[in-house]
Amino acid sequence: MDQISKTNAPVLENFWMPFTANRQFKAAPRLLAAAEGMYYTDVDGNQVLDGTAGLWCCNAGHGRRKIAQAVERQLTTLDYAPTFQMGHPIAFDFAAKLAANAPGGADAKLDRVFFTGSGSESVDTALKIAIAYQRAIGQGTRTRIIGREKGYHGVGFGGISVGGLVNNRRVFPQIPADHMRHTLDIERNAFSKGLPAHGVELADDLERLVQLHAPKPSQPSSSSRCRDRPVLSCRRRVIWKSCAPLPTSTASC
C-alpha cells in the first residue's frame, strides 16, 4: 500500500506467509486493516469485497456483533479446556447438534464428530480413521489410498500425498499413493440420459490401480459390477457406502 508511513509500517520479514511469493509480496504489500459485513478495508481506507469469505471460514460475514459477544462470553467463562481424558459440556452439545443436522438422516450414520483445527488436520485425521477402521475389522493390509489428479486435500503430509497437485508435493516425501485422472470435464460431463459416453472409463481406472497392487485373475470391468460395499471414502467426512469393487485382499481407503 502506497500510504503506509515508515513510522507505522509493520516489520514484514519475520512472518513466512503461506501460498505466497514472499519476496514479491513484501516488496509491495497489500495489507488489510478492518472488516465489516462482506468487505475488508485496507490500510489506505479502500474497501475490498471479500468474495471468498476469508478462506471459506467467515460465511456469516465480518464483524458480527452477536458472534463477537458470544465469543467474549465464552472466553471469560472457559477459554480453553483440553479434551484428552476430560471434556466440557459445550463440545458435547455442539457435536450433538452437528450429528442431528448431518446429511442423510439417521440412516447415514454420520453421528460421530471429531473436532479439528483446520482442513488439513481434518484430512489427515480422516486418512488415519480410514486406515484404523480397516485394521479394526481385520483388514489391516488395506492401506492403499487412491486420489485424483488436481485434487486438493490440504497441506499436511497425508493430504499432499493423496492430493494431485504436483507442486504441493514436489519436494516432500509422501506416503504411498496413486492418482486417478481428473474427473472434472464440464463439456463432456453435461447432463445426458442413461449411461454417459464419457466417465465409464474412470471406473476402469480405479480397478486398474487396485489390481496393480493386488493382481487378480481377469475379471469383468468394474463398470459392470459396481455395487455397494462398506468402504470408507477419505474426504472431509466418512462415507459408509462406496460404489467400488474392492477385493478383500486389496489395499484401499
pLDDT in tens, 198-234: 777 777 877 887 787 765 555 554 444 444 444 444 4
Instruction: Tell me the pLDDT band of 244, cut-offs 50, 70 and 90.
Output: very low
Contact 150, 164 (CB under 8 A): yes
Its CATH class, for the domain covering 116-184+202-243, is alpha beta
Q: Is the pLDDT of residue 26 over 70?
A: yes
Which of 72-86, 131-145, 184-198 is predicted with the least confidence, judged by mean pLDDT? 184-198
Counting residues of the chain whose pLDDT is more than 90, the rounded percentage is 44
Q: What single string gives the DSSP state of each residue in 62-126?
A: B--HHHHHHHHHHHHH------SS---HHHHHHHHHHHHT-TT-GGGT-------SSHHHHHHHH
Give the helix ranges, DSSP H, for the chain: 22-27, 53-56, 65-77, 89-100, 119-136, 157-162, 166-169, 200-213
pLDDT at 248: 39
Q: Give 60-115 pLDDT, tens digit per residue.
A: 999 999 999 999 999 999 999 999 999 999 999 999 999 988 887 667 778 899 99
Domain-wise residue ranges, the chain:
116-184+202-243
pLDDT at 189: 66
